Amino acid sequence: MDAKNLTIKQAHELLISKKMSVLELVEAVLKVADGARDLNAYLEIFDDVREQVEVAQKMIDDGRSTMMTGIPIAMKDNILIKGKIASASSKMLENYTATYDAFVTKKLRDAGAVFIGRTNMDEFAMGGSTENSAFGVTKNPHDKTRVPGGSSGGSAAALASGSALGALGTDTGGSIRQPAAFCGVVGLKPTYGSVSRSGIIAMASSLDQAGPFAKTVEDAEIIFDCIKGYDPMDSTSEPAGESPDFVSSDERLGRNPDNLAKKEPKKPKVIGVPTEFVNAKGVDPRVLKNFEESIEKMKKLGYEVKEINLASLKQGLSIYYILMPAEVSSNLARFDGVRYGYHANGANLLDDYMRSRGEGFGGEVRRRILLGTYVLSSGYYDAYYSKAVAAREVIKKTLEVAFRDVDIIATPTTPTPAFRIGEKSSDPLQMYLADIFTVPVNIAGVPAISIPSGFVEEGDALLPLGIQFIAPHFGEDALFATGKDFEKMLGDNNI
């Protein structure tokens, strides 16, 4: 069995036809993970894998299996699994044991998935390289001198190295799509509200969304189908029609629900390309060339390509780096060294707080909390936070208007291929600029997928690139349809 290249779909077929046992599959994957330890993708391989394997095998033997039964999955370290440490790669939560399952964990557990281990990340999901982890950087499997991207870099590297068949990450400004692009795998940021945030360590709650990493678009769809759904424990979870008091966003906004609430997946035909936005300063010419070639290929597949103007998306980064730290400063106020997490003993209670937070949080987290405190403070609130909130509406509107003419919007996922470890770590602003194509998606709350689109040569290494497809709210079906077309055309170069 070639565990490295095995997809979830293939593994599922082997499992239910009894050509392979769950134990054989999991042991093969664990062997690959053991051989890839130097990547530092996993923070911990769980010690109860064998028990999980037995549960999964029983489900299959009893004919109760799902597509995810027996599938070895890697979990980002900010997703709670009851009884396991969830550290968010922070010293603050180094010894924190989750007291309950996240919604997505429960969904996967009920489906019979096998949690292999928890993966490294940028501390509290803040960063684009995993260099901000309190437990060392993760290395890119394609070139170990380079970063895997971030913040879900461990999940991307684990999957790309074959140390799992699928992985979960979280995406606040690109943290699934960017590492997926850097590591040559598929990464999906679902529509805001389609996957519950319950049990996911919060970073910026109006932007955070959990989603899958997978080797193929089809596998990403399988994981997404398993983890999505309404959850009363997340107040922004979208009750997808089944709840009696459900009012869709379109009805709420007085729009014609027929346009968006399309149940039967309509095959996307028109791709919008925001040429001016894509040709932003600092985008690697090789990335642009690869993107243009990809668009040409889509034309050959019969897609109509339309030029669109998304100039206002340029404001995305500014909006993001105001709203996100503002929400971070508020969300991370809960870490006080009193109820759980790192505690440092000071002269009095205030001193306990100051020291616990000063010592427990890493540099980037401290920087963002202070930045958020600044943009929310009296006298600056109007100049920053309220302006960003208003500008966010402009981005939403811009995309809404664009989607009247096109079914899908395409951009490169990242402005460059994976950069070197240490290259940007001393300049936070440079690091932030790498999010230019991914943040507008979170700001608008729409879904987007990154799919491997080829490679660039860099020294001896071939570094993967990704193309990003964006769809309107709840348009994941369109992303999967277009993604599968694109993937099929590229052939087998993406695994």
Partner 1 sequence: MAIELKDIEHLAGLARIAVSDNEKKTLQHDLEDILAYVSQISNEGYDIGMPEVGEPRNVMRADDEPHESGMFTEDILAQAPVRDGNRVFVKKIL
The piece of 258-266, 277-285, 353-361, 446-454 that touches partner 1 (CB under 8 A) is 353-361
**Of residues 21 and 236, the one with the C-beta less far from partner 1:** 236
From 51, 289, 370, 405, residue interacting with partner 1 (rule: CB under 8 A) = 370
Q: Considering beta carbons, is residue 154 or 325 the nearer one to partner 1?
A: 325
For 199-248, where are the alpha helices, taking DSSP H only? 217-227
Nearer to partner 1 by C-beta: 118 or 368? 368
Find the shortest distance in angstroms from Cβ 111 to partner 1. 24
Pair of tokens at residue 237 = 């979870």
Q: Is 175 one of the catalytic residues?
A: yes
The residue among 44 and 239 lying less far from partner 1, judged by its C-beta, is 239
Instruction: Scan residues 50-89 and list those touching partner 1 (CB under 8 A).
Output: none
Q: How far is the CB of 377 from partner 1 (least distance, A)?
A: 7
* Least spacing, CB of residue 27 vs partner 1, in Å: 32
DSSP percent split of the chain into helix, strand, coil, nearest 5 = 40, 15, 45
The residues in 155-194 that bind partner 1, with binding defined as CB under 8 A, are: none
Residue 397 CB, nearest distance to partner 1 (Å)?
7
Return the residue of 13, 48, 296, 393 that touches partner 1, per CB under 8 A. 393
Which tokens hold the place of 88? 């968010």
Judge contact between 70 and 56, C-beta under 8 A.
Answer: yes
Clarify whether 4 is annotated catalytic.
no
Q: Which is nearer to partner 1, 54 or 393 (CB)?
A: 393
Give yes or no: 17 in active site.
no
Active-site entry in 87, 90, 133, 151: 151
Comparison of 42 and 361: residue with beta carbon closer to partner 1: 361
129, 195, 233, 342 from 453: Cα distances, Å: 20, 26, 37, 42
Residue 280, Ramachandran bin (φ over 0: left; ψ between -120 and 50: alpha; else beta)? beta
Task: Tell me how far, at minimum, the Cβ of 251 lies from partner 1, in Å.
Answer: 8
Q: Residue 205 corresponds to which tokens in the numbers above?
A: 């709650």
In this chain, which of 390, 422, 489, 493 binds partner 1, going by CB under 8 A?
A: 390
- Single residue of 397, 405, 422, 488 touching partner 1 by CB under 8 A: 397
Contacts with 409 (C-beta within 8 Å, 6 or more apart), sequence order: 271, 272, 273, 274, 308, 310, 399, 402, 403, 469, 470, 471
Which one of residues 42, 124, 291, 384 is an interface residue with partner 1 (CB under 8 A)? 384
CB-CB contact of 479 with 448 (8 Å): yes
Residues 214-243 that bind partner 1 (CB under 8 A): 232, 235
C-alpha span between 317 and 295 (Å, rounded): 25
HSE value, Cβ hemisphere, 13 Å, CA-based, for 335:
32
Of residues 262 and 340, the one with the C-beta less far from partner 1 = 340
Of 348, 404, 459, 492, the residue at the interface with partner 1 (CB under 8 A) is 348
Q: Does 4 bind partner 1 (CB under 8 A)?
A: no
3-state secondary structure (DSSP) of residue 96 = coil
Exactly one of 359, 423, 461, 484 binds partner 1 (CB under 8 A); that residue is: 359
Task: Work out how close the CB of 99 gets to partner 1 at its nearest, in angstroms, rounded to a whole number.
Answer: 4
Residue 16 exposed, middle or buried by CB count within 10 Å (0-12, 13-18, 19+): middle
From 161, 175, 198, 453, active-site residue: 175
The residues pairing with 304 across neighbouring beta strands, listed in sequence order, are 270
Least Å distance between CB 84 and partner 1? 13
Window 92-111: contact mask with partner 1 (x via CB under 8 A): ----xx-x------------
What is the footprint of partner 1 within residues 243-282 (CB under 8 A)? 245, 247, 249, 252-253
Minimum gap (Å) between residue 452 Cβ and partner 1: 31
What is the C-alpha separation between 199 and 430, in angstroms, rounded?
A: 31
Nearer Cβ to partner 1 (27/352): 352
3-class secondary structure, 470 = strand
First to last CA, the chain: 16
Buried b (16+ CB within 10 A) or exposed e, 323-360: bbbbbbbbbbeebbbeeebbbeeeeeeeebbebbbeeb
Q: How far is the CB of 362 from partner 1 (least distance, A)?
A: 11
Among positions 363, 401, 489, 493, the unique one binding partner 1 when judged by CB under 8 A: 363
CA-based nearest residue to 180, from 458, 430, 440, 487: 487
Q: How far apart are CA 43 and CA 36, in angstroms?
A: 12
Q: Which of residues 296-335 bind partner 1 (CB under 8 A)?
A: 315, 317-319, 321-322, 329, 333
- Alpha-carbon Rg for the chain in angstroms: 21
Task: Identify the CA nearest to 275 among candidates 253, 261, 291, 286.
Answer: 291
Phi, psi at 171, each rounded to 5°: -135, 110
Question: Would you please indicate which residues are annotated as catalytic (active-site) residues?
Answer: 76, 151, 175
Give residues in contact with partner 1 (CB under 8 A): 96-97, 99, 232, 235, 245, 247, 249, 252-253, 315, 317-319, 321-322, 329, 333, 336-343, 348-350, 352-355, 357-359, 361, 363, 366-367, 369-371, 373-375, 377, 383-384, 387-388, 390-391, 393-394, 397, 428-429, 432
